[in-house]
Chain A
Amino acid sequence: DGGITQSPKYLFRKEGQNVTLSCEQNLNHDAMYWYRQDPGQGLRLIYYSQIVNDFQKGDIAEGYSVSREKKESFPLTVTSAQKNPTAFYLCASSPGQGNSRYSYNEQFFGPGTRLTVL
Chain B
Amino acid sequence: AQSVTQPDIHITVSEGASLELRCNYSYGATPYLFWYVQSPGQGLQLLLKYFSGDTLVQGIKGFEAEFKRSQSSFNLRKPSVHWSDAAEYFCAVGLYNFNKFYFGSGTKLNVKP
Residues of chain B touching chain A, judged by Cβ–Cβ distance below 8 Å, are: 4, 9, 32, 34, 36, 41-46, 49, 51, 90, 92, 94-96, 99-101, 103-106
Contacts and interface: CB of A to CB of B under 8 A. Distances in A.
A111 interface: yes
A42 B99 contact: no
A31 B99 contact: yes
A105 B45 contact: no
A43 interface: yes
A33 B100 CA distance: 9
28 contacts: A31-B99, A35-B103, A40-B106, A41-B105, A42-B103, A42-B105, A42-B106, A43-B44, A43-B90, A43-B103, A45-B101, A48-B100, A58-B100, A92-B44, A94-B99, A105-B32, A105-B94, A105-B95, A105-B96, A106-B34, A107-B92, A107-B94, A107-B101, A109-B36, A109-B43, A110-B43, A111-B42, A112-B43
Q: How large is the interface on A (under 10, 10 to 19, 20 to 34, 35 or more residues)?
A: 20 to 34
A101 interface: yes
Contacts of A107: 46, 92, 94, 101
Interface string A97-111: 100011011111111
User: How would you classify the secondary structure of chain B's contact residues: helix, strand, loop or mixed?
Assistant: strand
B99 A101 contact: no
Interface of A: 4, 6, 31, 33, 35, 40-43, 45, 48, 50, 58, 88, 90, 92, 94, 96-97, 101-102, 104-112, 114
A16 to B, nearest CB: 27
Contacts of A111: 42-43
